[in-house]
Amino acid sequence: MENQVFMPRIGEQAPEFTAISTQGTINFPKDYEGKWVIFFSHPADFTPVCTSEFMTFASMEKQFQEANCELLGLSVDGLYSHIAWLRTIKEKIEYKGMKDIEVKFPLIEDITMEVSKKYGMIMEGESNTKAVRAVFFVDPKGTIRTILYYPLSIGRNFDEIYRALIALQTADAFDIACPADWRPGDDVIVPTAGSCGVAKERMDDTENLDCKDWFFCTKKLDKDLVLNTVLKK
């Protein structure tokens, strides 16, 4: 029990740490107050799946920043390895039409695995020397809002990471829930009625709501309204 590591959970404050990165010292989450953060780990530098992921993240960085979100990476490799790998990506690697890709977001060195263990990124069933592909969505108040974990052998779906970010922001801004496969412009779900009276009102409100039953009501939410609310224009 002494060595047991408890993973952070959704709704908890993101564990604090100070670490060296390719963009200088990071004090997390303090340095990112007021912004969303996608904090993610990768198993190792100079590996092909990780390379494809970093190129994809770097090519989407502006898209994330427009949604008030910064990217922050981590692996258990050292700073000089990080620098050499990112330079190699820019100078030599081409993938899916992406080339000359410069990774500008910070990549944390975690040789001691202190941060990785604090976030439950080291899973001995996969490896005790490499971090799995973890993704933490941290909101502007430093609260963990979503957690995704992938094994070493499978690259992440970056469209889903971005979709989940926009969905979280939309749910917060409009006090709604997002159904399966939701994207901006799709109908959203109205929170479940808390009383019989409210349930009846919703069932009768055929102009603004589409209620399949008292607990399942959806409504329109204009795509432009969503994007203008959550994206920087």
196 is known as an active-site residue:
no
Catalytic residue among 50, 69, 211, 217: 50
Per domain, the residue ranges of the chain are 17-157, 175-230
SS3 9: coil
Report the distance separating Cα 48 and Cα 91, nearest Å: 15
CA distance 131 to 63: 26
Q: Which CATH superfamily is domain 175-230 in?
A: Antioxidant, Horf6; Chain A, domain2 (3.30.1020.10)
**What average pLDDT does the structure give for the chain?**
91
Q: Can you give the pTM of this predicted structure?
A: 0.92
Structure letter (DSSP) for residue 30: G
The pLDDT of residue 1: 41
Residue 2 has pLDDT above 60, yes or no: no
pLDDT in tens, 66-114: 999 999 999 999 999 999 999 999 999 999 999 999 999 999 999 999 9
Residue 183 labeled ligand binder: no
Domain 17-157, CATH class in plain words: alpha beta
Render pLDDT for 125-163 as a digit per residue (tens, 0 to 9). Answer: 766 667 789 999 999 999 999 999 998 889 999 999 999
Q: What percent of the chain has pLDDT over 70?
A: 94
